[in-house]
Structure 1
Amino acid sequence: MISKRIVAFFAAACLSLGLTTAGPDEGMWLPLLLKQLNESDMQKRGFKLTADDIYSINQSSLKDAIVQFGGGCTGEIISSEGLLLTNHHCGYGQIQSHSSVEKDYLTNGFWAMNRSEELPNPGLTATFIVRMEDVTKQILEGTGNAKTEAEREAIVQRNIAKVSEQATAGTHYNTVIRPFFFGKEYYMYVTETFKDIRMVGAPPSSIGKFGGDTDNWMWPRHTGDFALFRIYAGANNEPTDYSPNNKPYKPKHHLPISLSGIKENDFTLVFGFPGRTNEYLTSHAVKELYEVSNPAKINIRETKLNILDKDMKASDAVRIQYAAKYASIANYWKKWIGENRGIRKANAIEKKQQLEKQFAQWVAADPARQQKYGNLLADFEKNYKALEGITISRDYITEAAYGVELINYANNFVRLQEMVDSKAPQQEINALLDRTEKGAAGFFKNYNAPSDKKVFAALLDLYYKNIDAKMHPEAFKTFAQKYKGDFAKYADDVYSKSALTSEAGVKKLIADVRAGKTASLKADPAIQLAASIGAYYRTNVLPTYTSVNDNLSLLYRNYVAGLREMQTDKKFYPDANSTLRVAYGKVEPYEPLDGVKYNYYTTLEGIIEKAETGAAEDYAIPAKLKELYEKKDYGIYGVNGEMPVAFIASNHTTGGNSGSPVINANGQLIGTNFDRNWEGTMSDIVYNPEQVRNISIDARYMLFIVDKFAGAGHLVKEMTLVTDNTSGLAQVDARSKEEAKPAKKETRKERKKREKKEKAELVN
């Protein structure tokens, strides 16, 4: 979906796209522009291929093995049979959805031993990029006459719809058109989305989530964060809905996997779909983030996590219901903590201020520049000042109020109530009722009202106490009078009277509305509270928020233009916006603290050490893994008596790069990206080459777990494993040609010899 406004500094819905100048290993580059901007530099750093080997529309290239997985992660194709590799945490929702107390795939893992055992996942998609195109001229046509940002954006959206329709007419393709450089440029991605994605394999959480929240965002890391899926296609190898008759997708390219491993200073390339970065925020925005927004969100999420943690430990059913939710909440909670540490360590606010001072001096030196850019910095300060109080109100609404599942769910019924009150056409009301009724089962499958009730009392208490009373929704005034500030009593009342705390209650409420009985809809306390919070937001937060960010959109567009004019010798790269990007760097250790230096890789020995000395909850391991360690039974995947597990490199990554392949100089897979180091999480705002590292599972550890631990060697056999430095593209082409040859008829003598060999292997 195309973002309509540049939102200044909100981490979850902030700048649609920004810009920064690139330093060593910094940057998330557009595949289409690699030849002119990056190819020479990449080859100087050791890359053996060309920009065309990475991105081409005329021949198979690395891009043909990369997918956007489920809309929020990246995955890579690792076999000619559509086998897809991504992170365990990217597939966590699917693993959880297939799990139950009886079949606990979260705890025990899952491995399909044949194609019939692979599990379908309704709603899960895998999207390839067919091609990219610069469509700036078409999208900006007519915008010169716009008097406001809103008018300009309306024209842009109309042009986007027109260009998209033209690009996909007569095809099964879709398009994504996004703004670059704050709307100075627009690029179109033509996409192909597959909808039959089946779960093939996932290690137990004691491997896939080894280290838990203790190790999240940390290095050294020992997590086997991977999962395997498979893309299925119709008879013509094109996307289609799930059918048992579908066949494994035949990709244009799949990544060969290197068994040669990594060493310090090796070239690395990360190819994926980074989500959001904000590298070009001004100092005003970073200060607000550091001093106000992040601390508030950290406190809210920590409060919620503590409640859920206790309930999940007390009940296996609740643990399975909330496993994916807990992981999602915890992920950004810890990220924001690290981000603030990194901002402080990098002196990010001061550096932003220094750049702004340099810009002001450059502007002041020329009358023409003064005319174009003279008021920019003052206007930034004025607009960010106008957001004081608005930012924190929005944070508490999104994180605290809507962090309560009942309130968030009740928003569906607020809309229903509005439609009933306005006497909307019955057809529209029925359509909403149908959607709500259909989604109820899914919601309540993973909902526990007693846990949510505790969250309600705790988070609304924070909202009530930490936000000025002038910025409270109307319902809080009623609450203060009736419950005397006791949110536990308020929670008792709401959860005992609301129909929305159970699937049966929701179905009855829907049935009543269908029958024309709307009194219970209007009287429901959860719906009343959600309506009050929503009304406050629309009346007191959204108008200022929208107006200011319309202003900021234009300011940032002009500021970026000025910086590019000022720094003509610099290469600029756009902020991440969930479009396909290339980042490159090298395998490299780092020093997080004075006197401390971290190695660039970890091994299975570190897992055993943590299991023996660390917290039992996060560092428990399967008995078989320890047995393989003690026997040093690593197969062809170990090296010098060690089993490599993870490694770090200096690639510039962010959320959305989870699951991205880490590729060596020859186009071979060496790992799968799954995290950043804690000290480097501020790279979404400012890149510090001394501290920023991406963390990846070593491909050899993935193979070891699949083959030696899980006994799913049949999956390894369909992969292309290599030990030499030949181009990965050439290796895959050679294998594809070999597989395409007609099978040679086996003689009786050859058959007997083969059967004897197979029998011996089975005995051994």
Structure 2
Amino acid sequence: MRLFKILFLLVAFPVFAQQGGMWIPSLLEGMNENEMTALGMKMTPKDIYDVNTSSLKDAVPHFNNGCTSEVISPKGLLLTNHHCGYGQIQSHSTVTNDYLADGFWAMNQSEELPNPGLVATFIVRIEDVTTKVIEGTDGLSSEAEKQKKIQQNIQNVVLTAPKEKWQENRVRAFYEGNQYMLFVVETFKDVRLVGTPPSSIGKFGSDTDNWVWPRHTGDFALFRIYADKNNRPAEYSEDNVPYTPKHFLPISLDGVAENDFTMVFGYPGRTQEYLPAVAIEQIVNDLNPARIAIRDAALKIQDGFMRNDQAIKIQYASKYARIANYWKKWIGENLGLKKSNAIAIKKADEATFMKRVAASGNQATYGNLLNDFQTLYKEIAPYAVGREYFMEVATRNVELLTVGYRLYQLEALYNARGAQSFMDRKENQLSSLKGLYKDYSSTVDKEVFNELIAMYRKGAPSQFVPASLKAADISSLTNTIYSQSALTTYEGISNLLSGDAESVLKKMQADPGYQLLKAMADIYTNDIAPKYDAINLEISALQRTYMKAILELSPKEARIFPDANSTLRVTYGQVKGYSPADAVYYHPVTTLEGVMQKYVPGDYEFDVPQRLIELYNAKDYGVYGENGEMPVCFIATNHTTGGNSGSPAIDANGNLIGLNFDRVWEGTMSDIYYDPEICRNIMVDIRYVLFIVDKYAGATHLIDEMKLVHPKKEVATNANGKSKKRKK
């Protein structure tokens, strides 16, 4: 019980200096509420999260289990990032009907486009179930036994916790497994594309500007949630109707100014704020450099083809963006960790921690933690590097090898469960591979393979490189595989997988592409993964104990929030500029003038649509402009990460003011170490979104759905600026 009393104190003690954090919305009363109020918030915690009445949480669904979105009308209109909906936009695009290049706007609901597999998930309620989950684990000696018991307990909670039949129970770990929370959710499966600007707006600046400020990207797309006649989740059907939300976000037309309160609500994916210094050293010195180099090589090759072939550009647009996103993030992360001296700061914090251990008399329990970390991270190092090389080359960046790895898993299934399981999975694989080959070019992939397989041979620890690859001539190997392997076309893979299990396996073994992948995957499966997983399990157990010690031994005023784990969180701060380097200062707001300053006609990244140029020249901004300018983006001190893409930026009164989509490059290390001096999140100003929907696209029917407000005037305003009584 002592630990959870401490958790309560950490949330209840009033401290007003903002230091970042991603907080559980059901636990905001106390310290967080006081801090948020001191920063300018006018809401209460119940306005943000309430089980019994509608609250902000009811307007913020998880978008396709990766990004965040927000409901902005009583008809289920959903706003998220352009890059979050990129795959859906791409799937509807062709060379002759290119929604990526030209944009798309449904002018009525019958024109809205369905997206099989796309989901939006709402949180119904959150409960602490720690006691139930850890029950019966105290007497277990091994970590594997503890985790097995915990998983059994979690499954029991999932099965027995009360919910409606159309809802789902999920349990997630917090504080490295020192706390467990139950999430009851509703997942809507009919989500249709409503509108998207062209990539020249939604992806303006593309990879050059990614993770960069100043930013001028209109990174948004509109979808709509559909439900059955009872307003409940349902598979796609023409009989479905627009979802009526419990709450939707009003939209403020007042804009932002320096020091304005901001709150970002969403589903941050993963942070590692409590890693020991030795772990950060391994990331900075070993893992990130390997990842960066591999993706750098792949991206340069893909980019060269995309710039010269429109069909390839469409095929690889989504893949390229996905690969480039974390490539650039890792570069900035390394730079930021070094610049902020994060490793030295962590070591100083660890020295203070050890003093607290000694002062509390807990040497027997916690005294060897840091030494044990040193031992384990040294032991895992070669396996961690080998794992990264295999994952990056074989499962993420060379598509032929990625397909080969799927076949490898099929073979493993045959060995484990027999022919029938193999045949069942084979048919599923064939179906799913159609989409992969639709966006595949063997010409591009061949060049990527040739470069990356050479990097694999040189960079992976020698003991993890197959003997056949060590002896091979890379150029000859590449030509042989891409001229003879069935894995280069969908027709080829279909023929390869035709027949009974035994004949398919025989054909697979004879395929040169599969032969190489199998040699690599055998080493990964037999030599890397088991050892890596075993050591990592020990590290995870040690990290849990370390987290428990931090919670127990830190002073009451310490700011200790749980790492992100793709669950609903609140982060808050203020609109602020920043100074990333000596004599350099960035203002917190950009305008359309900056778009025009970056404009390069016909450029892949910085072209501008003619219609937008016309609106700029005429200064035709409607009610969305301010002092003769059109605001585009702004930054604030909210602590965000991947998964917060598409999160609503909310003002002090609970109105939508922006759409989160990125962070500044100098602060991308905030997943590991948050520095309030330079860490900033980047948001599209909601007025730019409305300006594009209204003035650029002419989709005024969508504006009419929304509730536009002027919080300072306490009146609502429609698109043409006429006042009307504000809805309560």
Deviation at 1:426, TM superposition (A): 3.6
2:469 corresponds in structure 1 to 479
Q: Distance in 2 between matches of 1:726 and 1:539?
A: 67
2:9 corresponds in structure 1 to none
Deviation at 1:530, TM superposition (A): 2.0
Residue in structure 2 matching 1:678, options 657, 665, 684: 665
Q: Distance in 2 between matches of 1:683 and 1:651?
A: 11
Deviation at 1:627, TM superposition (A): 0.5
Q: Distance in 1 between matches of 2:171 and 2:112?
A: 34
CA contact (8 A) 1:255 1:728 kept: no
Deviation at 1:655, TM superposition (A): 0.3
Deviation at 1:469, TM superposition (A): 2.1
Residue in structure 1 matching 2:629, options 635, 639, 642: 642
Deviation at 1:726, TM superposition (A): 7.8
1:755 corresponds in structure 2 to none
Q: Distance in 1 between matches of 2:363 and 2:19?
A: 34
Deviations 1:451-505 (Å, cap 9, x if unpaired)? 1111111111001012232221x3xx22343x3xx32211111122221211111
CA contact (8 A) 1:648 1:693 kept: yes
CA contact (8 A) 2:486 2:496 kept: yes
Q: Distance in 1 between matches of 2:572 and 2:663?
A: 15
Deviation at 1:568, TM superposition (A): 2.4
AA aligned opposite 1:574: P
AA aligned opposite 2:319: K
Deviations 1:384-407 (Å, cap 9, x if unpaired)? 110121111111011123221111
* Counterpart check, 1:655 vs 2:642: yes
2:497 corresponds in structure 1 to 510
* Counterpart check, 1:521 vs 2:508: yes
2:421 corresponds in structure 1 to 428
CA contact (8 A) 2:130 2:181 kept: yes
Moved more, 248-257 or 163-172: 163-172
2:176 corresponds in structure 1 to 182
2:462 corresponds in structure 1 to 469
Deviations 1:286-309 (Å, cap 9, x if unpaired)? 011111111111111000000101
CA contact (8 A) 1:220 1:598 kept: yes
CA contact (8 A) 1:444 1:502 kept: yes
User: What TM-score does the superposition give when structure 1 sets the normalisation length?
Assistant: 0.90
Residue in structure 2 matching 1:603, options 591, 610, 629: 591
Q: Distance in 2 between matches of 1:245 and 1:601?
A: 44
1:5 corresponds in structure 2 to none
Q: Distance in 2 between matches of 1:342 and 1:617?
A: 28
2:617 corresponds in structure 1 to 630
Q: Distance in 2 between matches of 1:145 and 1:736?
A: 66
Q: Distance in 1 between matches of 2:29 and 2:74?
A: 28
* Counterpart check, 1:443 vs 2:436: yes
Residue in structure 2 matching 1:276, options 267, 270, 274: 270
Deviations 1:499-518 (Å, cap 9, x if unpaired)? 12111112112223369464
Distance 1:208 1:169, change over 3 A: closer
Equivalent position SS for 1:672 = strand
CA contact (8 A) 1:49 1:727 kept: no
CA contact (8 A) 2:715 2:724 kept: no
Residue in structure 1 matching 2:43, options 43, 49, 53: 49
Where do 1:9-24 residues align within 5 Å? Answer: 24=18
Deviation at 1:105, TM superposition (A): 0.5
1:750 corresponds in structure 2 to none
Residue in structure 1 matching 2:115, options 116, 121, 131: 121
Deviations 1:14-63 (Å, cap 9, x if unpaired)? xxxxxxx9962400000010013411211121111100000000100000
Residue in structure 2 matching 1:488, options 475, 500, 505: 475
Residue in structure 2 matching 1:374, options 351, 364, 367: 367
Residue in structure 1 matching 2:565, options 562, 570, 577: 577
Query: Unpaired runs of 5+ in structure 1?
Result: 1-20, 741-764
2:409 corresponds in structure 1 to 415
Residue in structure 2 matching 1:708, options 695, 700, 704: 695
Distance 1:515 1:374, change over 3 A: closer
Residue in structure 1 matching 2:229, options 235, 252, 260: 235
2:10 corresponds in structure 1 to none
AA aligned opposite 1:117: E
AA aligned opposite 2:656: L
CA contact (8 A) 1:22 1:572 kept: no
Moved more, 191-200 or 522-531: 522-531
Q: Distance in 1 between matches of 2:284 and 2:658?
A: 33
Q: Distance in 1 between matches of 2:332 and 2:612?
A: 31
CA contact (8 A) 1:279 1:686 kept: yes
CA contact (8 A) 2:216 2:591 kept: yes
Q: Distance in 2 between matches of 1:111 and 1:358?
A: 57
* Counterpart check, 1:567 vs 2:554: yes
Distance 1:518 1:561, change over 3 A: closer
Residue in structure 2 matching 1:393, options 386, 390, 402: 386
AA aligned opposite 1:48: K
Deviation at 1:336, TM superposition (A): 0.6
Deviations 1:643-663 (Å, cap 9, x if unpaired)? 000000000000000000000
AA aligned opposite 1:567: S
AA aligned opposite 2:621: Y
Deviations 1:333-387 (Å, cap 9, x if unpaired)? 1001110111011100000110111122222345x31111111111111111101
AA aligned opposite 1:333: W
Distance 1:566 1:519, change over 3 A: closer
1:340 corresponds in structure 2 to 334
AA aligned opposite 1:542: A
Residue in structure 2 matching 1:165, options 143, 159, 164: 159
CA contact (8 A) 2:266 2:570 kept: yes
Distance 1:284 1:702, change over 3 A: same
Distance 1:515 1:401, change over 3 A: closer
Distance 1:726 1:681, change over 3 A: same
Equivalent position SS for 1:573 = coil
AA aligned opposite 1:150: A
CA contact (8 A) 1:666 1:725 kept: no
AA aligned opposite 1:47: M
Distance 1:562 1:728, change over 3 A: farther
Distance 1:376 1:272, change over 3 A: same
Deviations 1:598-630 (Å, cap 9, x if unpaired)? 011000011111115x99332110011011001
Q: Distance in 2 between matches of 1:615 and 1:282?
A: 48
AA aligned opposite 1:498: S
CA contact (8 A) 2:163 2:169 kept: no
The aligned length equals 707
Deviations 1:418-449 (Å, cap 9, x if unpaired)? 44566x44431221121012112112111111
Deviations 1:666-714 (Å, cap 9, x if unpaired)? 0000000000000110100111010010000000000000000011111
Distance 1:737 1:62, change over 3 A: farther
2:354 corresponds in structure 1 to 360
Deviation at 1:133, TM superposition (A): 0.3
Distance 1:119 1:165, change over 3 A: same
CA contact (8 A) 1:417 1:522 kept: no
Where do 1:249-328 residues align within 5 Å? Answer: 249-328=243-322
Equivalent position SS for 2:187 = strand
Q: CA RMSD in A?
A: 2.1
Query: Unpaired runs of 5+ in structure 2?
Result: 1-14
Q: Distance in 1 between matches of 2:137 and 2:486?
A: 49
Q: Distance in 1 between matches of 2:170 and 2:309?
A: 43
Moved more, 496-505 or 181-190: 496-505
Q: Distance in 2 between matches of 1:362 and 1:517?
A: 62
AA aligned opposite 1:502: T
